[in-house]
Amino acid sequence: MSIDAVDFFYLSMPKVEDIGDGSQDALVVRVSADGVEGWGECEASPLVSIAAFVTPMSHGACKPVRDVVLGKPIESAADIAAIHAAVEMECMDLLQAAHTFSGIEMALWDVLGRKRNAPVYELLGYDKAHPKLPYASQLFGDTPAETLAGCRRAREAGYRAVKCGWGPFGRGTLAEDRDHLQAAREGIGPEGTLLIDAGQIFREDVEAAALRIPLLEEVNTVWFEEPFLGGAYGAYAGLAAKSGKVKLAGGEASHNFHMAQQLIDYGKVGFIQIDCGRIGGIGPAKRAADYAAARGVTYVNHTFTSHLALCASLQPYAGLESHRICEYPFAPKSVAWDMSETHLTPDGDGLVHLPAAPGLGITMNPAGMRKYMVDIEISAHGKALYRSPKL
């Protein structure tokens, strides 16, 4: 097989709000290879990512992703790794390339799995996919009462774990943060797993973040996620030395394996969270999972969009039984839900299972996608470089 076509579909809600909700739009990728189709999703600005695929070459290390991908053979996992390595070298000065290729790479694994009639996790070397415990991933409310209500809804829906993030946390006083944390704990209940995401609000201010540690301990928080900028490894290390039983979590800002490696080795996180739609796809995420497991760090997926992205994000650690928790898009916007027919809904025990089906095992919903498609054209020098494809 060789890669015949790569098509991008820009989907969006009618109105995108200024909130930390990445499910409001999506960039879905379809790859065709000798009549076999696979699907993936980029976690990035859709239009910018498409531009990285078609932009005219600037110089030898700043080529469009298209020129490195189309026509390449796709017969094995080694072929996918070779294409990834070529993108890293030939598109190294095109900083959006990792995000653009991430969705393509997912779709390549989907193609290969469908061709071989095997789930992606088997192609990665796992004998089976262990179920994961999903945590309902949601934003803090504007008020503690809203935070309480959101966590209570998650518990009533059967979730045993919840993560609250972004919103007002870290932007006001310690007392205000404490009220939100207490509300979250009350909502999920005394036995529930509570996770907190600061959304990088403290940038690299270790002392400001450290002031929240006693508040997190009061409510028995398992982790403190992304208190700092993704590359502020020194700040992570500084807070890790002060955080006691509250472990630090981060890694969604990793755009390659080496960034994840630095956060583990130097940043001293207890949980490494990788987004397959950013790091370069499933292969680099699997490398990060293996590296983390060998060092006693727990691997967790980062997924706040669709079930296509969710399914892809679970593949790299599907066979790691003790790495059990997973981020689950608890209340995505309709565009993220409608794009696929397949959804990974929790079972009676509240656990999520990967489909034991070829490739990613996700059936897309063209009719659902059409409702949200954004018609685009990218032109340069009077020539159309890209037009929205047909579904």
Q: How confident is the model at residue 146 (pLDDT cuts 50, 70, 90)?
A: very high
Q: How confident is the model at residue 21 (pLDDT cuts 50, 70, 90)?
A: confident
Q: Per-residue pLDDT averaged across 59-78, rounded?
A: 96
| Residue 244, pLDDT score | 92
Beta strand pairing call for 377-380 and 325-329 = unpaired
Q: How confident is the model at residue 326 (pLDDT cuts 50, 70, 90)?
A: very high
Please check the confidence at residue 20 and state whether its pLDDT lies above 90: no
| Residue 370, pLDDT score | 97
CA-closest candidate to residue 105, choices 375, 360, 339, 320:
360
| Residue 330, pLDDT score | 82
| Alpha carbon distance 256, 135 (integer Å) | 25
Structural domains of the chain ordered from first start = 3-117+366-387 (3.30.390.10), 123-338 (3.20.20.120)
Q: What is the pLDDT of residues 236-269, one digit of tens each?
A: 999 999 999 999 999 999 999 999 999 999 999 9
| Alpha carbon distance 221, 249 (integer Å) | 12
| Residue 22, pLDDT score | 86
| Residue 6, pLDDT score | 98
Q: What is the pLDDT of residues 191-205, one digit of tens each?
A: 999 999 999 999 999
Q: What is the pLDDT of residues 23-52, one digit of tens each?
A: 999 999 999 999 999 999 999 899 999 999
| Residue 19, pLDDT score | 83
| Residue 172, pLDDT score | 93
Residue 136: alpha-carbon gap to chain centroid: 14
Q: How far is CA 116 from CA 33, 111, 153, in A?
A: 13, 9, 41
